[in-house]
Chain A
């Protein structure tokens, strides 16, 4: 029994040791850079060693230039003295949460989440600075019943979509354009893409507006595409994957923003001119084959900086697109108020794109 006291002390000591050891050693560090990056150990433009910013980037596994920049370490080589960490996120909502909790400085979000961030109740001080891609056929409405060839025939059917995503926005726009009432004529259910195949197979949903890899999966099990986000974009309601950064970060790091936009522009050029190289980089990050990446390229449009800075995008129309999205989100209960037009105009910053275009 005399040993008991010593034993208790030993247990406590062991616990302290375990805590201390694991906390200090950190044998598996987070955000470890890939060792075998594809070629690109050279900066595609003049490197800027004067930039010493500390940057936390929020990326998502969407096939666009952001992953080329990440994989080829463009930012790290072009700004050797900047401290850059890449964190992976699963949705725009999560990126906004990170902006709000000051855990990320710059990140990729869809146009719907971007609008949400700029509207009440969130009112997050951030700006849209880049268009990673314009969403086209990559997000499409897959329908199970072969007899359905017009969206009006979906009356009374169940359609799955991930709520407050860009696909959700496109779906509601397509239904409205076809003269249907999304609330009454069809049943729209909130489902994350990975749950859709089983619901599809089990006959619980008749259609889904979704992206890859789920879209290919649904098409492989007897579905066909009825309309796509390309169609809704042509009808005047485009959706985007955007680059956004917190206002305080943009104000404090103008040199970084310019170099960042130049790197993104180089990545866009690589996707458009050398898709074989770009698809390997993107495939390495996403963990899918380069061939699958190239197939997905066709579903997006990638804009060079010059086009982005123009009045069609960041230079003008983007603000009105965001405002239109806000009106839609308000109807759906995603936000509590549409901000004044000046907020959306101020929420877009074309300066980095302009600098990269020169």
Chain B
């Protein structure tokens, strides 16, 4: 607050237009920073209030710890799952994290599966999307199957994938791939179909070849849509990861969340859920960042 008073222009200063513009810009960024700070503050207060209510409810024992463990016990479960610890107080035997893996290793194992499944979707999805948008017969044939696949619940067909590809990582990656590629394909189709005709004609009339219109007009115009599709696909992969890891899902954060649930270890389940949520948000922010770098023309062209 004191800062704003010191940087405000002194009264009666000469009205230099360039200086005024710079001043306005500075004030603008300052205002934006203040807004950001205020937003952060509101969020932090909301989080503290939420944790306080959680703590109060559990410490008053209004709800049994099995259904809602205290924040402290969730934190304890989180710490234990990331360290070597004795299996019980007073016992010498040490174990590693949970199920012989640290929690972060469970997370990385899931990220690897998502990386491979979504990675293949990022390669295959746009290719199929371009093919479907460019050649009518392909779209006519494939579109119903794409919509069919899109509507299927992952839990419904994981059993078939296990019979086909075994209980190992292959079936899990297939599931994540099948969940991730339809949104990317559909986003690509929408992107290609959304390219305005006059732009292509404009490029053609300026002497561009057919191929050049694709590489210089269609592809750049489609890229923002493709990246949006990828963001949706990654979100979808997260929601699918527990289904993928129901069988033989250790190591895996989804598998651990499910397993701890069946063993009534609720604090660990909640710790897993929080970790999944935070990881998903961070990954989404990362893709947003990549989008800013790769397609700075988004919304401007």
Contacts and interface: CB of A to CB of B under 8 A. Distances in A.
Interface of A: 1-2, 4-5, 7-8, 10-12, 15-16, 18-19, 22-23, 26-28, 30, 32-36, 38, 61, 87-90, 94, 97-98, 100-104, 192-194, 197-198, 201, 213-214, 217, 221, 280, 283-284, 287-291
Interface of B: 64, 66-67, 84, 87-89, 91, 93-96, 98-101, 105-106, 108-109, 111-112, 115-116, 119-120, 122-123, 159, 162-164, 166-169, 215-216, 219-220, 223, 226, 246-248, 250-251, 259, 261-265, 294-295
Contacts of B295: 7
A12 B130 CA distance: 14
Contacts of A193: 262
B95 A18 contact: no
Given A34-B95, A100-B163, A103-B168, A28 B251 contact: yes
B262 A194 contact: yes
B94 A36 contact: yes
A280 B87 contact: yes
Contacts of A94: 247
A38 B86 CA distance: 12
B91 A213 contact: no
Contacts of B122: 15, 18
A172 to B, nearest CB: 23
Contacts of A8: 215, 219-220, 223
A281 to B, nearest CB: 8
B216 A4 contact: yes
Given A19-B123, A290-B87, A5 B215 contact: yes
Nearest to A286: B263
A201 B115 contact: no
A32 B264 contact: no
Given A97-B162, A217-B66, A287-B95, 17 more contacts: A4-B223, A7-B295, A11-B226, A11-B294, A22-B111, A22-B116, A28-B109, A35-B96, A36-B96, A90-B262, A97-B247, A103-B168, A104-B167, A213-B263, A214-B264, A287-B98, A288-B87
Contacts of A291: 88
Contacts of A214: 264
Contact of B294 (A7, A26, A280): A7
Contact of A101 (B64, B119, B162): B162
10 contacts: A7-B220, A22-B112, A28-B105, A30-B169, A30-B251, A97-B247, A217-B66, A280-B91, A287-B87, A287-B95
Of A22, A36, A283, the most chain B CB neighbours within 10 A belong to: A22
A40 to B, nearest CB: 12
A38 B262 contact: no
Contacts of B248: 87-89
B99 A287 contact: yes
B166 A15 contact: no
Contact of B264 (A35, A98, A217): A217
A84 B122 CA distance: 36
B167 A289 contact: no
B166 to A, nearest CB: 4
Contacts of B115: 18-19, 22
A217 B66 CA distance: 9
A28 B100 CA distance: 12
Contacts of A88: 99, 248, 250
A30 B255 CA distance: 12
A19 B180 CA distance: 14
A103 B167 contact: yes
A98 B167 CA distance: 7
Contacts of A34: 95-96, 100
Contacts of B66: 197, 217
B259 A90 contact: yes
